[in-house]
Amino acid sequence: MNKRIIVALDFDSKADALSLLEQLDPKRCRVKVGKEMFTLFGPEWVKQIQAMDFEVFLDLKFHDIPHTVAKAVAAAADLGVWMVNVHACGGMEMMNQARQALLCFGDERPLLIAVTVLTSMLQKDLEQTGIRSTLEEQVKRLALLTSDAGLDGVVCSAREVTMLRALLPITFNLVTPGIRPEKSAHQDQKRVLTPKQAIEKGSDYLVIGRPITQAEEPMQILELILNEISKTDQSNNL
């Protein structure tokens, strides 16, 4: 499968992001715009990236009443993004209305995925919000709810890929951050997989930030990763 890598554009400066984008090949990767860049530079920035032929994952993790989220997701579709996301804990009705808001975009609609439990949360954080089940049970419950709502997939931590792949239809996309090529620094990521391990375990898309964005030769690192995972893809007949 082509373009499995989503490069996280975690910059506070357009100039820095542009200097990276100019070195990357839009035929070989997609990019993720999160809350920081979107808040700083808005939809015009997304359009600018798209004008450079990059497909954009708009990572704004919407969570609000169903009507508001449906409108926000439709606005993202109007912007022409490739993927957009919501928080699964917004519930079935919220996810359903978000999905329905995209129907009128037909084949042009973005993929709609959900976040289950933020990987920054520990068991005690869940308990503080009144959730009594284990973290793992909560992740499973929200991933199944997302699938039942007809969404296209979930963001999941490297640690959860095996469990979720076994539970969900093969067409349900698993989007996995916390990826570190062999020998690269882990920074603040605690539980990492290599790109090859993540694909072997069943990830569909890999979100990779600093190993590419901070590299001296970003395109060279991207090619190394693509080369590594293409062997796995071939052996899986993908």
- Looking at the annotation, which residues are catalytic? 61
Site for ligand C5P in 101-160 (CB under 6 A): 119, 155, 157
In the complex, minimum distance from the CB of residue 104 to ligand C5P, in angstroms, rounded to a whole number: 29
Q: Out of 66, 90, 177, 195, which residue is the one contacting ligand C5P (CB under 6 A)?
A: 177
Contacting range for ligand C5P; rule: CB under 6 A; set: 102-110, 124-132, 146-154, 206-214? 206-214
In the complex, minimum distance from the CB of residue 59 to ligand C5P, in angstroms, rounded to a whole number: 7
Kindly state the tokens that stand for 69.
Answer: 């989220």
Contacting range for ligand C5P; rule: CB under 6 A; set: 18-26, 130-138, 202-210, 226-234? 202-210
In the complex, minimum distance from the CB of residue 235 to ligand C5P, in angstroms, rounded to a whole number: 25
Interface with ligand C5P (CB under 6 A), residue total: 14
Q: Tell me, residue by residue from 11 to 50, as one string, x for binding to ligand C5P by CB under 6 A and - for no binding.
A: -----------------------x----------------
Q: Tell me, residue by residue from 57 to 96, as one string, x for binding to ligand C5P by CB under 6 A and - for no binding.
A: ----------------------------------------
Q: Which amino acid is at 152?
A: D
Q: Which residues pair with 111 in a beta bridge?
A: 83
Contacting range for ligand C5P; rule: CB under 6 A; set: 130-138, 143-151, 163-171, 205-213? 205-213
In the complex, minimum distance from the CB of residue 137 to ligand C5P, in angstroms, rounded to a whole number: 18
130 C-beta neighbours (distance < 10 Å), count = 6
Q: Does 189 bind ligand C5P (CB under 6 A)?
A: yes
Contacting range for ligand C5P; rule: CB under 6 A; set: 68-76, 94-102, 142-150, 201-209? 201-209
Q: According to the 3-state scheme, what is the secondary structure of the chain?
A: CCCCEEEECCCCCHHHHHHHHCCCCCCCCEEEEEHHHHHHHHHHHHHHHHHCCCCEEEEEEECCCHHHHHHHHHHHHHHCCCEEEEEHHHCHHHHHHHHHHCHHHHHHCCEEEEECCCCCCCHHHHHHCCCCCCHHHHHHHHHHHHHHCCCCEEECCHHHHHHHHHHCCCCCEEEECCECCCCCCCCCCCCCECHHHHHHHCCCEEEECHHHHCCCCHHHHHHHHHHHHHHHHHHCCC
Q: Which residues contact 159 (CB under 8 A, 6 or more apart)?
A: 178, 191
Tell me which residues touch ligand C5P (CB under 6 A). Answer: 8, 10, 34, 119, 155, 157, 177-178, 187, 189, 207-210
